[in-house]
A and B are shown apart, each in its own frame.
Chain A
């Protein structure tokens, strides 16, 4: 789909998973920000989790509110009603934020299993944006189960947003000279835009001998993309094991990463994601029809 230079795809529709929680609020903000920058439509998706509704069928199940600390029994209809309320809160949240940023939006609530529904809806979008974690699990950097499943199984590009943090520059992109990395570099350059050059290429290679070659390759790619070379814009990291160490300390900014990097080992990708605190854009060469792929304007 992409040429050698790896032209970025146009993101026409951006899917954001909403559940009115704090982490999903961060995902929404990031999605709105991206959508307004890329001129995309926004589709908000709320999934009424079947598993939760089924819990309503167990009479001894209890729900404890975080605010009130009071526990209560819930039946199926309670569950449905409360999920509808959460759904409309999520819709309101989306409507307000999108209206403020003047981003075209739509909202959909579906019932089903969260990961399945999310992946199904992702097929309609060019990019899927979701919180790294759900609920209150915000302690460590490890991925939530939904995020893990989506990153592993999605066929398109995925943006993972950490809670309480905005997606901002600098944009760091991992480059190992692979075909997937070329695409990731193009996406990153596109996102960095014409503003202050805040694009940093992190050069990674299988062996030390390859590093210099990959670095030169990266510089050439950057030049092809029209990015002015600048001291510090290409950083040699080393092997893939050094990569996590290089980005772990960073909190702000966005890490752009090709899903197929490091030889396409999902285990490597998951390990890396578990160690990174910042927002991560996992770029995947989408199997979408060629007709929908357009080059970004210069």
Chain B
């Protein structure tokens, strides 16, 4: 209120004059004056377009932060800065508050200033093939390693066959083969000679080695054999048996020799492969001398290639393709032995500038932790380390991961999985199928990567408090809370920031530019959404919707720039679209289905105001409250509570009334009334104590038998001292009664009494403000129930004088007299009853 000449300034002074007389003397002070209706300027705090130093939003710079969220900014800065275990962030706040946008805007520039994290890759584990090796490489070196190993395999595929097919190698190989053949031959020749001495021939036939008797150097004919004497036959038979035994032993020895030859060949292959592989590997080593795991891997490749040199000499099908194509999953079908020498580069940070900021919008367990895929082949599921796929945590490792808390909690086992890796600071893929034994197939148990990631969960406050309550690990893992404000203070500086926010959203959503009048109207609507003339809503989603809808109406009107009129139309149209239920209620009031008087007066009857909430929409609904009193034990009966239609807060409000009555009136008499209070035509339950002041007014009216003006409605809660306390939804309530009055006809007498503490919340609809300006509708602000009663009844409430008595004919005096009368009647009634009861 520091600007000169503006409408707001004038309104400000009117606040002072309207409120001050009630405030200065304090409640129930003898000198107070009755407050008049509030000045129209207090009913709606305008934003003066002139105060906005721009023509349209096109000339405004984007806004990186959200005004008024300094607390969040500090929390984010703290959370990012502290590199300790468990200092992950939970950003909580209302829906549509732009939490993710703000967090991202805070994270990205800070992350960009950090150094890029290392590359992550999986390599084949030659010792334990089911446990692929997790290898961390300096950023950008992953691609180099992949290129080096591809080239190595390419080279091996040509170098090894070349090494084996050289003339020298062929001679050495054939030498070994010839040697074994020669041994066979010599052994057989010796046997042949020995056998011949015994008259036995050794023949090679297609059936095998055959031993037959000899005759004159030729194979004996069967007829000749038949003519031999028995002794000769026996001698020959013995000779054959002896030779057969020798032959059998010799053939067994052949097998041993064959094995020796195989071993020699193997040793030869080993030497040849070693000479082919060795220098290729040695060429690579200096480049990787700074990464010991790669050096180890190169040595393992050398050993494996030498052991499996046959793969390179007789490549199986599929092995003929280019090496780089071998890591395609399709090649798993006909597994190429060369795949195991290549790299599965999970995360390549070669191009990265700064630390990564990753958002995973579908945080399933697999999408977070990575997964092992399978390839169906001949009805079986196969996999290898090339089919390990990274998760969001791999990509975010060394940086930041943003997750929506609700989405995360909705995914089976994702929350548990995330906690587990954060706790252990180790990351490896986990399969839900295997975890739950749904899939049983040959799988991998990859090694883990060290995990260093800052997780930012974004969610509603409820989720934070629930997790905090039910998950004992939560607090240890998410130690930093960024708590978003629901609304921000409405100051000229913040107005301007709000305007830049509008400009940012307008540009992001590609809307027409907003002129300053339209922006002012948006700021006013921001205050209305906050339910407070002095605050601005931080629910950016609702503001963005309003901007989009205003843009629509501007297009509808053929305007290139969105004006205040379009914003107003967007607000009105949105209300209109949601207005069916409100229309039904107003129609019922107009037709008399809902009994409501907006003129005349009645004893023990007052118009109260409630708010009906349906979905995101709310409107005020007037309700009639009636009170009846009779002789009783001093209790105020809340009919709503008796039938379980009233909530605990409502009951509390009603019970306070007994306290108020007992304290203020007839404190030397027993409270001898029985009062009933009811919300007429309320069938759906009542909650809240915002009608308690109205209920008290109805009760006192009934006791004093003084009529209450039905042209007024009342809202506000009351305490035991009779002070009126602020309530929520004041704008909807005032507008609700205004609409009811319009439905029944505006008389110029009608108005609403609201707690003085709620004046700052007033951001009333334009038609209400206009009616107030014309004197056709009035909004009164009161501090205590006496003020309210004076306005409602037109009688002075009355203060106790020095003797402790209320002025005669004052409302309070009437109430007290009635209560004393009731007490005395009760005493006399009790005596009479006692006498009648004596024997």
**In the complex, what's the smallest C-beta–C-beta distance from B244 to chain A, in angstroms?**
4
Say if the beta carbon of B252 comes within 8 Å of chain A. yes
B184 interfacial by beta-carbon distance below 8 Å: yes
Cα–Cα distance between A83 and B184 once the two chains are bound (Å): 25
- Which one of B232-240, B292-300, B473-481 contacts A? B232-240
Convert A219-253 into 0s and 1s, putting 1 for each residue whose CB lies closer than 8 angstroms to a CB of B: 00000000000000000000000000000000100
Is the pair A58, B181 in contact by a Cβ cutoff of 8 Å? no
Query: A60 CA to B252 CA in the complex, in Å?
Result: 23
**Are A49 and B185 in contact, with the CB atoms below 8 A?**
no
> B247, A61: Cβ atoms under 8 Å?
no
A65 contacts which chain B residues (CB < 8 A)?
Answer: 207-208
Residues of B within 8 A of A19 (CB): 206
Within 8 A of A (CB), among B179-236: 181-182, 184-186, 188, 203-213, 219-222, 225, 233, 236
Residues on B with beta carbons closer than 8 Å to the beta carbon of A140: 185
Give the residues in chain A near B188, CB-CB below 8 Å.
136
Q: Which of A68-76, A96-104, A174-182 makes up part of the contact surface?
A: A68-76
Across the interface, which residues of B come within 8 angstroms of A1, CB to CB?
none
User: Can you name the residue of chain A whose Cβ is closest to the Cβ of B249?
Assistant: A69
Residues of A within 8 A of B251 (CB): 64, 66, 69
The interface centre, meaning the residue of B206, B220, B237, B252 with most chain A CB atoms within 10 A of its CB, is B206
CB neighbours (8 Å) of A52 from chain B are 205-207, 210
Q: Which of A58, A59, A64 contacts B209 (CB 8 A)?
A: A64
CB contacts between A and B, total, < 8 Å: 99
Q: Does A296 contact B (CB under 8 A)?
A: no
CA separation between A66 and B241, bound complex, in Å? 17
Determine how close the nearest CB of chain A comes to the CB of B415; give it in whole angstroms.
Answer: 63
A59 to B211, CA, bound (A): 11
Minimum distance in angstroms from B767 CB to a CB of chain A:
98
Interface string of A128-159 (1 = CB under 8 A from B): 00000011111110000000000000000000
Tell me the complex Cα distance, A52–B205, Å.
8
Please give, as numbers and ranges, the residues of chain A lying within 8 Å of B411 by CB-CB distance. none
List of A residues within 8 angstroms of B255 by Cβ:
69
Q: Which of A175-221 contact B (CB under 8 A)?
A: none
Whether the pair A139, B184 counts as a contact (CB closer than 8 A) is yes
Partner of B204, one of A69, A79, A134: A134
Complex interface: chain A residues within 8 A of B241 (CB): 62
Inter-subunit contact A60/B237 (CB<8 Å): yes
Q: Tell whether A139 pairs with B247 under 8 Å between CB atoms, given A57-B222, A62-B210, A74-B207.
A: no
Q: Give A90's nearest chain B residue, CB to CB.
A: B206
Interface centre among B188, B210, B255 (most CB of A within 10 A): B210
- Measured CA separation A57–B210 after assembly (Å): 13
Alpha-carbon gap, A82 to B208, bound state (A): 11
Contacts of A79 in B (CB 8 A): 207
Query: Known contacts A58-B212, A64-B208, A70-B248: does B184 contact A136 (CB below 8 Å)?
Result: yes
Partner of A82 from B204, B207, B212 at Cβ < 8 Å: B207
- Bound: A19/B208 CA distance, A: 12
Tell me, yes or no, whether A120 is within 8 Å of chain B by CB: no
Contact check, A60 vs B221: say whether CB atoms are below 8 A apart. no
Pick the most buried of B184, B222, B233, B247: most chain A CB atoms within 10 A of its CB. Answer: B222
Minimum distance in angstroms from A97 CB to a CB of chain B: 18
CB contacts under 8 Å to A, within B771-802, are none
Are B210 and A55 neighbours in the complex by a CB distance under 8 Å? yes
Do A71 and B207 touch across chains, with their CB atoms under 8 A apart? Answer: no
Residues facing B in A18-75 (CB within 8 A) are 19-21, 49, 51-52, 54-55, 57-66, 69-71, 74
- Chain B residues, Cβ within 8 Å of A62: 210-211, 240-241, 244
Most-contacted residue by chain B among A21, A70, A134, A139 (CB, 10 A): A139
CB distance from A230 to the nearest CB of B (A): 22
- Within 239-289 of A, Cβ neighbours of B (below 8 Å) are at 251
Distance A100 CA – B184 CA, assembled complex (angstroms): 34
Q: Are A86 and B244 in contact (CB under 8 A)?
A: no
Q: In whole Å, how far is B216's beta carbon from the nearest beta carbon of chain A?
A: 15
Residues of A within 8 A of B244 (CB): 62, 64, 71
> What residues on A are CB-neighbors of B205 within 8 Å?
49, 52, 63, 135
Are the C-beta atoms of A63 and B207 separated by less than 8 Å?
yes
In the bound complex, CA of A61 to CA of B225 (Å): 11
Q: How far is the CA of A83 from the CA of B206 in the complex (A)?
A: 8
Complex CA distance for A70 and B211, rounded to whole angstroms? 13
The count of residues in chain A whose C-beta lies closer than 8 Å to any C-beta of chain B is 34
Contacts of B209 in A (CB 8 A): 63-64, 66, 136
Whether the Cβ atoms of B213 and A63 lie closer than 8 Å is no
B204 to chain A: closest residue by CB: A135
The reply to whether A61 and B212 form a contact with Cβ atoms under 8 Å apart is: yes
The 8 Å CB contact of A86, one of B206, B222, B247, is: B206
Given contact pairs A71-B248, A79-B207, A139 touches B219 in the complex (Cβ within 8 A): no
Pairwise interchain contact B204-A61, C-beta atoms closer than 8 A = no
CB distance from A90 to the nearest CB of B (A): 9
Which of chain B's residues 246-276 have a Cβ closer than 8 Å to chain A? 247-248, 251-252, 254-255
Decide: B207 and A83 in contact? CB cutoff 8 A: yes
Contact B252–A55 (Cβ < 8 Å): no
Is the CB–CB distance between A69 and B221 below 8 Å?
no
Q: Which residues of B contact A139 (CB under 8 A)?
A: 181-182, 184-186
Could you give, for residues 294-313 of chain B, a 1 whenever the CB lies within 8 Å of some chain A CB and a 0 otherwise?
00000000000000000000
The answer to whether A54 and B222 have CB atoms under 8 Å apart is yes
Contact with A along B637-659 (1 / 0, CB 8 A): 00000000000000000000000
Q: Which residue of B lies closest to A69 (CB)?
A: B251
Contact present for A58 and B204 (CB under 8 Å)? no
B240 in contact with A61 (CB, 8 Å): yes
Among B186, B207, B220, the residue within 8 A (CB) of A58 is B220
Q: Are the CB atoms of B185 and A61 closer together than 8 Å?
A: no
CA distance A57 to B223 in the complex (A): 8
Do residues A69 and B207 form an inter-chain contact, with CB atoms below 8 A?
Answer: no
**Across the interface, which residues of A come within 8 angstroms of B222, CB to CB?**
54, 57-58
Point out the residues of chain A lying under 8 angstroms from B240, CB to CB. Answer: 60-62
CA distance A138 to B181 in the complex (A): 7
Asked if A86 contacts B204 (CB within 8 A), the reply is no
Residue of A nearest to B189 (CB): A139
CB neighbours of B237 from chain A (8 A) = 60
Residue of B nearest to A251 (CB): B174
Provide the residues of chain A in CB contact with B220, threshold 8 Å: 58
Q: Which residue of B lies closest to A135 (CB)?
A: B204
CB of A60 within 8 A of CB of B236, answer: yes
Contact present for A60 and B206 (CB under 8 Å) = no
Q: Which residue of A is nearest B209, CB measured?
A: A64
B185, B207, B248 interface centre (most CB from chain A within 10 Å): B207
Q: Are A137 and B204 in contact (CB under 8 A)?
A: yes
Instruction: Collect the chain B residues with CB atoms within 8 Å of residue A82's CB.
Output: 206-207
Chain A residues closer than 8 Å to B252, beta-carbon distance:
69
C-alpha spacing A141/B434, complex, angstroms: 64
Let me know if B248 and A64 touch, CB within 8 A: yes
Closest chain A residue to B170 by CB distance?
A251
In the assembly, what is the distance between CA of A136 and CA of B209, in Å?
9
Q: B790 CB to closest chain A CB, in angstroms?
A: 118
Is there contact, CB below 8 Å, between A60 and B204? no
- For A58, give the chain B residue with the smallest CB separation: B225
B703 to chain A, nearest CB (A): 118
Q: Which residues of A contact B248 (CB under 8 A)?
A: 64, 69-71
Taking a contact as CB atoms under 8 Å apart, the answer to whether A66 and B211 are in contact is no
Chain B, 327-361, contact with A by CB distance < 8 Å: what is the 0/1 string? Answer: 00000000000000000000000000000000000
- 12 CB contacts below 8 A, A to B, read A49-B205, A55-B210, A55-B219, A61-B213, A62-B244, A69-B251, A69-B252, A83-B206, A136-B204, A136-B209, A139-B186, A251-B174
Apart from A58-B225, A69-B255, A139-B184, list 8 A-B contacts with CB within 8 A.
Answer: A54-B219, A61-B213, A64-B211, A70-B248, A136-B185, A138-B181, A139-B182, A251-B174
Give residues in A with beta carbon < 8 Å to B.
19-21, 49, 51-52, 54-55, 57-66, 69-71, 74, 79, 82-83, 86, 134-140, 251
Q: What are the 9 A-B residue pairs with the smallest beta carbon separation, nearest first?
A: A135-B204, A57-B222, A139-B185, A69-B251, A71-B244, A60-B237, A86-B206, A61-B212, A62-B211
